[in-house]
Amino acid sequence: MAFPIGPVSPQELLALHQAVRQLLESWSVLICSPCQALRHQLLLEPWMRITQPLHQLSVCSTSQEARRWIGDKSAKVIVLSADVLDDGPVLPWMGELQHSPHPPLRLVCLKEPHRVTLQALQATGVEALISETNLGRGVLLAALTQLSQGKTYVDPSCLELLRNGSGLDELSPRELEILQLVAEGLTNGAIATRLGIAEVTARDHLRHIQQKLHAANRTAAVVQGIHLGYLPWRSPCI
């Protein structure tokens, strides 16, 4: 659900701030990001300088650290996370949290939003999705306001990607199929045999994949594919 960002009266702005303050003062907050600058943006926005101490605030850079911190907490928890942590994409962990005994509220901030990634995160039930490039433009306040009201939030740029895709750079179904086989360690010849196509066709598909993903080689294409959500996080054989 998109939150309309536009001119508001001082009274409306005060009401929004109050709702966010109440949410943060009564919940334990976990900020997950390997990037110090992003941590500061999520933590030190002026509207987050609340008058009362946070119930509990922690910062981590890996999903493994986050798992240990959350444990079997029964208290209300809100997770503000980057889309990629030091131990890989956050997507698998978001899926785990969906099925945990006490699921936290989850807000994911994406460095490079992509339709496939957004759809995968939505499939895990993530409550809020925002683009890192929109931080400082009201999306974080809007997202937390919606969460405080028991609603979900997708920022306008992410919503546009979900509706219309990302244009010419989006992988086709065939290209995605080939990228998956590259991640499994197959050569161009083996890919051609598996798919019943000419080896030169497999090679051309891979060249297009690398161009779309801005990857210098097949290894970089797999890494970028993982980052963008085309491939699941695992230790690929490449």
93-123 pLDDT, tens digit each: 999 999 988 889 999 999 878 888 888 899 9
Query: Among 133, 164, 195, which residue terminates a domain?
Result: 164
Query: Among 164, 191, 217, which residue terminates a domain?
Result: 164
- Do 45 and 153 reside in the same domain of the chain? yes
**Based on the number of CB atoms within 10 Å of its own CB, is 147 exposed (0-12), middle (13-18) or buried (19 or more)?**
buried
Q: Smallest Cα–Cα separation from 17: which of 142, 173, 110?
A: 142
Query: Among 164, 185, 205, which residue terminates a domain?
Result: 164
- Do 130 and 62 reside in the same domain of the chain? yes
Residue 5 is assigned to a structural domain of this protein: no
- Do 160 and 175 reside in the same domain of the chain? no
The more confident residue out of 1 and 125 is 125
Q: How confident is the model at residue 238 (pLDDT cuts 50, 70, 90)?
A: very low
**Average pLDDT value for the chain:** 82
Q: Smallest Cα–Cα separation from 90: which of 148, 41, 31?
A: 31
Q: What is the CATH number of the domain that holds 179?
A: 1.10.10.10
Q: How confident is the model at residue 4 (pLDDT cuts 50, 70, 90)?
A: very low
Q: Using the predicted structure, report yes or no on whether residue 223 has a pLDDT greater than 70.
A: yes
pTM: 0.72
Q: Using the predicted structure, report yes or no on whether residue 224 has a pLDDT greater than 90.
A: no
Rounded CA Rg of the chain: 20
Where in the sequence is the domain holding 202, given as residue range(s)?
171-228
Pairwise CA distance, residues 150 & 147, whole Å: 5
Residue 235 is assigned to a structural domain of this protein: no
Beta strands 105-110; 84-85: pairing state? unpaired
Q: How confident is the model at residue 45 (pLDDT cuts 50, 70, 90)?
A: low
- Do 97 and 184 reside in the same domain of the chain? no
- Do 35 and 125 reside in the same domain of the chain? yes
**Cα–Cα–Cα angle for 132, 182, 82, rounded to 5 degrees:** 15
> Tokens 């490079």, residue?
112
- Do 222 and 144 reside in the same domain of the chain? no
Q: Looking at the 3D structure of the chain, how many domains does it have? A: 2
Q: Using the predicted structure, report yes or no on whether residue 54 has a pLDDT greater than 60.
A: no
> Tokens 């500061």, residue?
40
84: helix, coil or strand?
strand
Measuring CA to CA, how many Å separate 238 from each of 10, 91, 196, 207, 214? 56, 22, 21, 16, 18
Pairwise CA distance, residues 141 & 24, whole Å: 12
pLDDT tens digits, one per residue of 25-41: 778 889 999 888 887 77
Q: What is the CATH number of the domain that holds 92?
A: 3.40.50.2300
pLDDT tens digits, one per residue of 188-211: 999 999 899 999 999 999 999 999
The arrangement of strands across the sheet holding 28-32 comes to 56-60, 28-32, 77-82, 105-110, 128-131, 153-154
